[in-house]
Amino acid sequence: MRNIGGMLHLVIAAIKLVWAASRKEFIVVVLMDLVQAFGIFVLVVQLQSLLSGLIAEKGGGDPDKLAFGMVGFVAANILIAVAEAVIANRRLLLSERTGLHVCREIMGVACLADLADFDDSRFHDRLHRAATSALTRPARMVESLVTIGQVVFTLAAVAVAMIFIQPWIALVVVLATVPVWLGGVRGGEQHFEFVTETTADDRSRTYLFDLLTTREPAKEIRAFNLERYLALRWLSIMERRLALLAANLRKRFYSALLASVGSGLVLALAAGVLIALNRWAGMSLAETATTAGALLVFSQKLVDGIGSSNEFFESAPLVRDLEEFLALRPEIERERTGDAAPTAFEAIEAQDVSFTYQGADRRALEQVSLRMEAGEVVALVGENGSGKTTLAKLLAGLYAPEDGRILVDGADLAGFDAATWRESVAVLFQDFIRYALPAEDNIRIGAAERDPADEAIRDAARAAGADGFLATLPDGYHTILSPQFGEGQDLSLGQWQRVALARAFLRSAPLVILDEPSASLDARAERALFDSVRELYQGRTVLLISHRFSTVRTADRIVVLRSGKVAEHGTHDELMAADGLYAELFTLQARGYLQPGAENGKSDDRTISLH
Ligand SMILES: Nc1ncnc2c1ncn2[C@@H]1O[C@H](COP(=O)(O)OP(=O)(O)OP(=O)(O)O)[C@@H](O)[C@H]1O
């Protein structure tokens, strides 16, 4: 059994996991297992002494002794029943606690992970597997583990009782468990094979299922009539899975057969030994009857044991998935060192910064330098994919540069704990999250750690032009911004953008990064935003990314990126006078507004973003 060590490791790791999840429940269950086993031991011994008394003394024996034996017999039965009730009750709680513990561990590591970890397919695969296991497997694993514990203790009790009555039978009893263990281990290995073989398909099938059953994609899927197409893809994966499962179950059938037939044969052997002992070795009737009864209890428990060991080895991959995922923790934690970053600065500077995304074959940024003085408004422009958002993420401390440095008042950001630097940055991404939470919380989370007052939230909403429509929602600021929950209501994209702006505004961070903050704003709101950016973020340093050239011209400086490099920089007037890329893009866009027909840009393939 090549993997017997591995299986033993799984059992020990599973016990450690349950122990870590809830010591109290674990101890109660183990104690009750022991009580139950003790009860069974007493039962067998009492049965034997009762029968001996009854058979030896034909008149019924000493009534006191018999009565005492009966009381012991009934008391043992009650003890077993009470222990069983406690176990059934605690087992449920233990399962829930283990599930909670597993989810907490996974979340702990996932929350520690940096954005770069989420670009790492290895991290993503492990997270997905661990998270999927965490939802379904802890309960089954704990329940089967508890039953196995019960079975093991009971079998041990019967075996010990048998030693007193008939040691040979005790030996056979122990032997009968061997096929169960071997069959369970083999079945477990085969189940592992199945899980490994189907992991990739499982991820695809979950993804397709989510596409078909969640709200966000529902609109596009219906617009493109994709329901059937996607459902059929899902179905074909399911059918492949079922075919693999059927083949795997055929293999596992033989392992199950080994467990049940093997132990059945050993028990038949025990019965044979019993008859022989009774016939030829002078084993008393009382001993024979007691042993036969004990064997009956034993064989029933063995059947439970077979079922539970199959169940355990099927659900135990949870432990492996979890171990693999949690093993990433030291790697992640090592990166989390350094002093707290400054909460205010005179200047922030990217110095010859280069960056390549995980798995990408070319750099997203190549030796980019950019300096921002406190209080400045700097605009970042460039065509799609030129690296604007990437630079913003590096400045926000979400990624570390591959080469070069980000300096805060001359100190390298790499020396600080990145998480503390992020407290000094308010970022509004293009693809900001639309939280299905009350409107007020959608703004509050901009500064959740400060727990801002309602008035501060309203002020932020007013500043971002969101107060007008939020106040008129059915439940005002308490309205959940998603019809998926309660009396929730959705907003338009432009309204959402204003809510996200309010969130960034509330953060009161010295560095504000606005990535396409006006992409969905109407012309009036956009004008108002850019006219007021300086006033709105007075005293803060603002990095403004935009494709709308009319709106960046008021920035103190404009930096133009092309293919990950700084192509040019300066004020609007300087860049127009230089007649480079900026002037070209600006003119192209302005022409689209001024000359009917020019917006098609038919003769020019240097198209800019069509936000
Ligand atoms: N997570 C990622 N993994 C791999 N490559 C990425 C990732 N994000 C962006 N890229 C690549 O990095 C380059 C720069 O992307 P970035 O998002 O910084 O461009 P951008 O200038 O902000 O573009 P846009 O104007 O379209 O928003 C692009 O080639 C893009 O494909």
Dump pLDDT digits (tens) for 375-425. Answer: 999 999 998 999 999 999 999 988 999 999 999 999 998 888 888 888 889
In a domain, 12, yes or no: yes
pLDDT classification of 1: cutoffs 50, 70, 90: very low
pLDDT classification of 594: cutoffs 50, 70, 90: low
- Give the closest residue (by CA) to ligand 1 atom 26: 384
Q: Which ligand 1 atom is at minimum distance from the Cα of 390?
A: 18
Dump pLDDT digits (tens) for 451-471. Answer: 899 999 999 999 888 999 999
**Neighbouring C-beta atoms of residue 360, cutoff 10 Å:** 10
Give me the mean pLDDT over the 86-101 stretch: 88
Dump pLDDT digits (tens) for 113-164. Answer: 888 888 877 787 788 778 877 777 787 888 888 888 888 888 888 878 777 7
For ligand 1, whether the C-beta of 119 sits within 6 Å is: yes
Give me the mean pLDDT over the 288-308 stretch: 78
Least confident of 465-479, 563-577, 578-592: 578-592
Least confident of 133-142, 221-230, 599-608: 599-608
Query: Which of the given ranges, 80-89, 185-194, 363-372, has the highest pLDDT on average?
Result: 363-372
Q: Which ligand 1 atom is at minimum distance from the Cα of 365?
A: 14
Instruction: Tell me which of 118, 356, 357, 566 to substitute to probe ligand 1's pocket, judged by most ligand atoms within 8 Å of the beta carbon.
Output: 357
Cα 209 to ligand 1 centroid, rounded to whole Å = 28
**Tokens 């639309």, located at residue:** 434
CB-based contacts of 455: which residues, under 8 Å, 6+ apart?
Answer: none
Q: 325 with 433, same domain?
A: no
In a domain, 518, yes or no: no
In a domain, 272, yes or no: yes
Cα 433 to ligand 1 centroid, rounded to whole Å = 18
Domain that holds residue 448: 428-508
Residue 140: which CATH number?
Answer: 1.20.1560.10
What is the layout of strands, in order, in the sheet containing 377-382?
425-428, 511-515, 541-545, 377-382, 557-562, 565-570
Q: Please give the model's pTM, rounded to 2 decimal places.
A: 0.72
Distance CA 17, CA 38 (A): 26
Provide the mean pLDDT of the chain.
83
* Strand 403-408 relative to strand 347-355, pairing: antiparallel
Residue 611: per-residue pLDDT: 29
In a domain, 591, yes or no: no
Least confident of 252-256, 558-562, 577-581: 252-256
**Neighbouring C-beta atoms of residue 193, cutoff 10 Å:** 14
- Give the closest residue (by CA) to ligand 1 atom 31: 385
For ligand 1, whether the C-beta of 563 sits within 6 Å is: no
Instruction: Tell me which of 358, 386, 559 to substitute to probe ligand 1's pocket, judged by most ligand atoms within 8 Å of the beta carbon.
Output: 386
**Neighbouring C-beta atoms of residue 27, cutoff 10 Å:** 12
What backbone phi and psi angles, to 5 degrees, belong to 357?
A: -70, 150
DSSP for 553-583, please give it.
Answer: TTSSEEEEEETTEEEEEE-HHHHHHHTSHHH
Cα 549 to ligand 1 centroid, rounded to whole Å = 20
For ligand 1, whether the C-beta of 99 sits within 6 Å is: no
Q: 303 with 440, same domain?
A: no
Cα 383 to ligand 1 centroid, rounded to whole Å = 11
In a domain, 406, yes or no: no
Q: 316 with 432, same domain?
A: no
Cα 384 to ligand 1 centroid, rounded to whole Å = 8
- Give the closest residue (by CA) to ligand 1 atom 24: 384
Q: 40 with 186, same domain?
A: yes
Residue 596: per-residue pLDDT: 57
Residue percentage of the chain with pLDDT more than 90: 30
- Give the closest residue (by CA) to ligand 1 atom 9: 390
Cα 128 to ligand 1 centroid, rounded to whole Å = 24
For ligand 1, whether the C-beta of 550 sits within 6 Å is: no
Dump pLDDT digits (tens) for 484-539. Answer: 888 889 998 889 989 998 998 898 889 999 998 777 677 777 777 777 777 777 78
In a domain, 178, yes or no: yes
What is the layout of strands, in order, in the sheet containing 365-373?
365-373, 347-355, 403-408, 411-412
Residue 459: per-residue pLDDT: 93
- Give the closest residue (by CA) to ligand 1 atom 28: 385
- Between 382 and 319, the higher pLDDT residue: 382
For ligand 1, whether the C-beta of 384 sits within 6 Å is: yes
Is a pLDDT exceeding 50 seen at residue 609?
Answer: no
Give me the mean pLDDT over the 98-123 stretch: 85
For ligand 1, whether the C-beta of 364 sits within 6 Å is: yes
- Give the closest residue (by CA) to ligand 1 atom 19: 385
Is a pLDDT exceeding 80 seen at residue 199?
Answer: no
- Give the closest residue (by CA) to ligand 1 atom 18: 387
Domain boundary among 508, 534, 561: 508
Domain boundary among 473, 508, 543: 508
Interhelix angle 4-21/285-315, rounded to 10 degrees, is 80
Cα 389 to ligand 1 centroid, rounded to whole Å = 7
Residue 58: per-residue pLDDT: 57
For the chain, how many structural domains are there in total?
2
Residue 56: per-residue pLDDT: 65
Is a pLDDT exceeding 90 seen at residue 348?
Answer: yes
- Give the closest residue (by CA) to ligand 1 atom 29: 385
Domain boundary among 482, 508, 534: 508
Is a pLDDT exceeding 70 seen at residue 313?
Answer: yes
Q: Which ligand 1 atom is at minimum distance from the Cα of 359?
A: 4
Instruction: Tell me which of 383, 390, 549 to substitute to probe ligand 1's pocket, judged by most ligand atoms within 8 Å of the beta carbon.
Output: 390
Q: Which ligand 1 atom is at minimum distance from the Cα of 387?
A: 18
For ligand 1, whether the C-beta of 115 sits within 6 Å is: no
Give me the mean pLDDT over the 295-304 stretch: 77
Q: 10 with 150, same domain?
A: yes
Cα 255 to ligand 1 centroid, rounded to whole Å = 52
pLDDT classification of 240: cutoffs 50, 70, 90: very high
Residue 451: which CATH number?
Answer: 3.40.50.300
Q: Which ligand 1 atom is at minimum distance from the Cα of 430?
A: 27
Is a pLDDT exceeding 90 seen at residue 323?
Answer: no
Is a pLDDT exceeding 50 seen at residue 602?
Answer: no
Give me the mean pLDDT over the 68-72 stretch: 79
In a domain, 454, yes or no: yes
Cα 251 to ligand 1 centroid, rounded to whole Å = 48
Q: Does the interface predicted TM-score (ipTM) exceed 0.90?
A: yes
pLDDT classification of 215: cutoffs 50, 70, 90: confident
For ligand 1, whether the C-beta of 68 sits within 6 Å is: no
Q: Cα separations (Å) of 256 from 5, 176, 180, 312, 332?
A: 20, 14, 8, 14, 42
Of 600, 605, 606, 602, give the one whose Cα is nearest residue 583: 606
For ligand 1, whether the C-beta of 387 sits within 6 Å is: yes
Residue percentage of the chain with pLDDT more than 70: 93
User: Is 308 within 8 Å of 151 (Cβ atoms)?
Assistant: yes
In a domain, 414, yes or no: no
Residue 203: per-residue pLDDT: 76
